[in-house]
Amino acid sequence: MTWAACLCWFGCSSKPAETTDVMAEGSPKFQQYYVHGKELYTTYCSNCHQQSGTGLGRLYPPLNVSDYVDANQSAVLCLMRNGKEGELTVNGKSFNKKMPAIPALTDIEIAEIATYIYNSWGRTKGIVEVQQVSRVLASCDTLR
């Protein structure tokens, strides 16, 4: 490899691994969901789960790195609206504290928050459509 090629290897191909990266690639609808979802996350979720998604000790489980979030998208949609109680395991650690329901969240707001969560902190799942969210929310009882 010549010097020039070597410089370019570092200079040209390094992309910042930020969420703006994902946004630049998304459709206008995706961007709208993502930006609004982030605002809603700040309002409704960050008190407990923290703005950076790390959670808080043994009290509030993390969302940024969470095998639960990765594996249970339907349950995540349902718990935003209905809350969650009982023991829950995230990354091998158990949590057991009630998450209050947030009944004020509309289907589209839940879709927006989900779009934010599933496209942040290294996740790149793309838009979570409101039609899909409504379908899942209508069947939350059977998920419990």
Site of interaction with ligand HEC (CB under 6 A): 44-45, 47-49, 60-63, 66, 68-69, 76, 79-80, 84-86, 88, 90, 95-97, 99-100, 102, 113
Distance between CA atoms of 97 and 14, rounded to whole angstroms? 42
Distance between CA atoms of 103 and 92, rounded to whole angstroms? 29
CB atoms inside a 10 Å sphere around CB 76: 22
Question: How much of the chain is in helix, strand and coil states, percent to nearest 5?
Answer: 50, 5, 40
Nearer to ligand HEC, 61 or 137 (CB): 61
Nearest approach, Cβ of residue 108 and ligand HEC (Å): 13
Nearest approach, Cβ of residue 143 and ligand HEC (Å): 13
Nearer to ligand HEC, 16 or 100 (CB): 100
